[in-house]
Amino acid sequence: MADRGVAFVSGGSSGIGYGLAAGLLGDGYAVTISARRTDKLAAAAESLSELGEVHHVAANFAAEDDIECAIDSHHERFGRLDVLINNAGLGIVEPIDQLSAKALDRQLDVNLRGYMLCTSRAMAMLRASSRPHIVNVASIAGIHGQSGLSAYSASKAGILGFTHALREELGADGIKATALCPAFVDTPMVDWIADQIGRDRLIKVSDVVQVVLTLLRLSPQCNMPEVVLEPPAGGLPGWPSDPAQRTAATA
Ligand SMILES: NC(=O)c1ccc[n+]([C@@H]2O[C@H](COP(=O)([O-])OP(=O)(O)OC[C@H]3O[C@@H](n4cnc5c(N)ncnc54)[C@H](OP(=O)(O)O)[C@@H]3O)[C@@H](O)[C@H]2O)c1
């Protein structure tokens, strides 16, 4: 068993989640990663296993049963949980005039409902931990709603409200909760717009990892409730104001 603790990372097969899993393993945690696509997830687990003890379990975080199975599988493998990283998410660009119920439901289901159900089902293990921490990957779009991203922004604002409620409800029991609010991070999610923005202007996954590892090393007397990661000039550089230029969706 890893000496620093055990973590669960949803969306751990790619981008920020993969980076966080690697960072946690490097810091001595054992880690479960979860995502939908089994091939990509297994390949990620294989590659991460060079860094430490990794378990992987396929799950769709829009589905309650899948979330419960993933948490059960983690429990069977490790029997404990110290750090829950709710990270699996997607963003779909749609002007409000064309908002589809399907795209709205997908974003709310995965980005918000999935975080809430996963946290709920992980609570018994977190309550048994000596240093429990729930890290919710939100977005700067949850603070400053973004044009063309109303459903995504709303889902991320919901995560901020959820995280605040967790602190009110669980803080006195020593369970920490933190919302991360990054601007554009260089991951596959932003591949479609990275050249337009300029890849060299994107925040690096390693920046997010550094923040989380720092969070987890704070004393029990200290928490960072929200962490905003921005480029030096702030905001989302290069986000097109013209809706016609925002043609792509990420999923
Ligand atoms: N990149 C950015 O600029 C940025 C900025 C702020 C916040 N964020 C947030 O950071 C988180 C990670 O994003 P990323 O940039 O790392 O994106 P990414 O590289 O596309 O990774 C997304 C991860 O989530 C998984 N996922 C997506 N839908 C899922 C579902 N229904 N059930 C289970 N897993 C699912 C994906 O695997 P499968 O597709 O195989 O399921 C993948 O592992 C998201 O919550 C995103 O909103 C990203």
Q: For ligand 1, say whether the CB of 87 is within 6 Å of any of its atoms.
A: yes
Q: For ligand 1, say whether the CB of 62 is within 6 Å of any of its atoms.
A: yes
pLDDT for residue 233 = 84
The mean pLDDT of 209-235, rounded to a whole number, is 95
pLDDT in tens, 26-76: 999 999 999 999 999 999 999 999 999 999 999 999 999 999 999 999 999
Distance 231 CA to ligand 1 centre (A): 20
> 74-80: which pairs have CB atoms within 8 A and are 24 or more residues apart?
74/8, 74/32, 74/125, 75/125, 77/32, 78/1, 78/6, 78/30, 78/32, 80/5, 80/6, 80/125, 80/128, 80/129
What is the percentage of the chain residues whose pLDDT exceeds 70?
94
pLDDT-derived band at 239 (thresholds 50, 70, 90) equals confident
Distance 70 CA to ligand 1 centre (A): 17
Task: Identify the CA nearest to 185 among candidates 213, 155, 206.
Answer: 206
pLDDT in tens, 136-179: 999 999 999 999 999 999 999 999 999 999 999 999 999 999 99
pLDDT for residue 3 = 82
The answer to whether 136 and 118 have CB atoms below 8 angstroms apart is no
Q: For ligand 1, say whether the CB of 89 is within 6 Å of any of its atoms.
A: yes
Distance 87 CA to ligand 1 centre (A): 6
d(CA 208, CA 190): 15
Q: For ligand 1, say whether the CB of 142 is within 6 Å of any of its atoms.
A: no
d(CA 168, CA 161): 11
The answer to whether 14 and 41 have CB atoms below 8 angstroms apart is no
Q: Is 207 left (phi over 0), alpha (psi -120 to 50) or beta?
A: alpha
What is the percentage of the chain residues whose pLDDT exceeds 90?
88
d(CA 87, CA 178): 12
The highest-confidence range among 120-129, 192-201, 237-246, by mean pLDDT, is 120-129
